[in-house]
Chains A and B, each alone.
Chain A
């Protein structure tokens, strides 16, 4: 298997060096950039499997890097946030990051998350059956989603999330299950990443076709994709 290329954008030079050393034992090839602006240029000009992005950056702030990146690329992004900056974390997920890790983090956790994100990307690439529920259509091969003839602009995580909900259309999917399938990890205490992703997907669905509430929150258990044909 080809080594997955991972770009890390973080101004902590020493940390990048240690991480590169650590991740190389996991068959990742790591490149590090210590400046936001240059990091963005690098991601857009090269092909990376994943980007690790620190939100506290000199030059261009991490959130701005992410915003510009999302305008042109759907490469999976894992953000590193400093604790106590919860607003930035939520914002990061809303802008389109796939997952986040608070600093200081356990490297094994980081590796597990990278694996999870990459596995999902590879797994869905192999699926071929197109999924259709009502007016929502998902082409897993091309990783394209359509609602009512309008194409949805989804990130990797959002696509997987919608895919999972479509698979179980009309049934409640627990937050635990969604986190495991979509983010590839266990739902932690006070973990609201999946909820932010859900609200992103919801927003995009309503934006593309104002068709009422498609994803319903079921209090205390999870989410469910409403099937119109059953309701009417």
Chain B
């Protein structure tokens, strides 16, 4: 799947993932990383434990002196892992070891005259003012292991990674679930627009029971309708052309009978000319309609395109010799294609005829056939160039439409019906090739037909 910066997939995926991550962070921040927000009951029990041992320590100090208090606290530390110190009212340590630890607690107790508790890395530091039975004030501080497990940095990193990975997977799947049908639908609509009217979105998407499923079903219904309409229209064109032939055939015979009986007359000549024109037009229309409608595969054989073009040129020369312009044919390389000889011949003939019709009377028609290696495979290029007035740039893409005529020139008197290039276009497409028209410098039109080259026999 190709993604670009603004794809829906990326948007949905990133938004969901970011949301999950932010929620996670908020949870962690709220519940774990805020010191001093422990439950009050736990605080009370900590304070009570400290108060009890503190009272004993003060007792010891008053009755047996500070060394006794130190000894008591050391002993207690050995049995309960509680590390404690005793300070006087001013905050000077009077018993215990390593009492600098409690500096922060002490200053807080002194300013607030209240219990202060810090918890960090599974250890709680508790400090509190204590009054002895004799009325003297002390400050007792103790470091108590809280029993909550110590979480190492690597453990935290692993957890974060797991959370990220799981949320990534879920968000990825969710985003895919939502966007893949849209992408598929887009592919289908592109194919439809490119002319493959039998395209439908896949059936497993149609079975979805959500909004996307509805959309896919509607799309398929629409594609079916378009296909039906267009094929009906093409069939109609085909049928009309087909049916027109019978009366035209009769007209031909009737005209000949009339000639037989009434003798030659210029009116008959006109009629005959028009009948001929009509029958040629119908023939071409049928070719176009057939190429448009037929879904049956065209019979393909290996054909030497240069030979085929030479043959067409020989016949064309015959017609052109009456008109003073010559055909110049150049062939480079082996030009084998897989194709249908009849169709290719009619395409080549139509393009060359077209060029011969529009080239100026003393100019030539240049035909070039060669094998080209392009990124997307080997192609045979057939290039036909005339020296006529060319076609306005804006109309270049239209000249392959049936019956299309360039406004300025290309008059009806020239005899064509505007079907020749349409045939060439369809024939090229049937062969998996393309047709392109461009104006040549200094004047004239160049039509390039690309047909995929056939492999080695």
Q: Which positions in A face B, CB cutoff 8 Å?
A: 12, 14-15, 18-19, 21-22, 25, 82-84, 86-87, 102-108, 189-190, 219-220
Is B425's beta carbon under 8 Å from chain A? no
Task: Please tell me if the beta carbons of A83 and B282 are within 8 angstroms of each other in the complex.
Answer: yes
Is B349's beta carbon under 8 Å from chain A? yes
**Given A86-B342, A189-B315, A190-B349, A18 and B254 touching (CB < 8 A)?**
yes
Is B146's beta carbon under 8 Å from chain A? no
**Given A14-B250, A105-B249, A21 and B257 touching (CB < 8 A)?**
yes
Task: Please tell me if the beta carbons of B256 and A108 are within 8 angstroms of each other in the complex.
Answer: yes
Task: Please tell me if the beta carbons of B256 and A15 are within 8 angstroms of each other in the complex.
Answer: no
- Least CB separation from A12: chain B residue: B246
Interface centre among B245, B253, B289, B316 (most CB of A within 10 A): B253
Q: How far is the CA of A219 from the CA of B314 in the complex (A)?
A: 13
- Least CB separation from A11: chain B residue: B246
- Least CB separation from B283: chain A residue: A83
Q: Which positions in B face A, CB cutoff 8 Å?
A: 241-242, 245-246, 248-254, 256-257, 260, 275-276, 279, 282-283, 286-287, 289-290, 299, 307, 310, 312, 315-316, 318-319, 342, 345-346, 349
- Least CB separation from B304: chain A residue: A219
Q: How far is the CA of A15 from the CA of B248 in the complex (A)?
A: 10
Interface centre among A14, A82, A83, A103 (most CB of B within 10 A): A83
Q: How far is the CA of A12 from the CA of B282 in the complex (A)?
A: 19
Can you list 7 A-B pairs, Cβ within 8 angstroms, ordered by A?
A22-B256, A84-B290, A86-B342, A104-B275, A106-B256, A190-B345, A190-B346
Q: How far is the CA of A48 from the CA of B275 in the complex (A)?
A: 32
In the assembled complex, the CB of B26 is this many whole angstroms from the nearest CB of chain A, namely: 74
Interface of A is mostly: mixed
Q: Which residues in B have their C-beta under 8 angstroms from that of A102?
A: 283
Q: Which residues in B have their C-beta under 8 angstroms from that of A220?
A: 307, 310
Task: Please tell me if the beta carbons of B283 and A18 are within 8 angstroms of each other in the complex.
Answer: no
Known: A22-B253, A84-B283. 7 other contacts (CB 8 A): A18-B254, A18-B257, A83-B287, A103-B245, A103-B246, A104-B251, A190-B346
Q: Which residues in B have their C-beta under 8 angstroms from that of A25?
A: 260
Task: Please tell me if the beta carbons of B287 and A84 are within 8 angstroms of each other in the complex.
Answer: yes
Q: Which residues in A have their C-beta under 8 angstroms from that of B318?
A: 189
Task: Please tell me if the beta carbons of B249 and A83 are within 8 angstroms of each other in the complex.
Answer: no
B249 interface neighbour in A15, A21, A84, Cβ under 8 Å: A15
Q: Which residues in B have their C-beta under 8 angstroms from that of A19?
A: 253
- Least CB separation from B286: chain A residue: A84
In the assembled complex, the CB of B298 is this many whole angstroms from the nearest CB of chain A, namely: 9
Closest A-B pairs by Cβ, 5 of them: A189-B315, A84-B286, A104-B249, A83-B283, A104-B248
B257 interface neighbour in A22, A103, A106, Cβ under 8 Å: A22
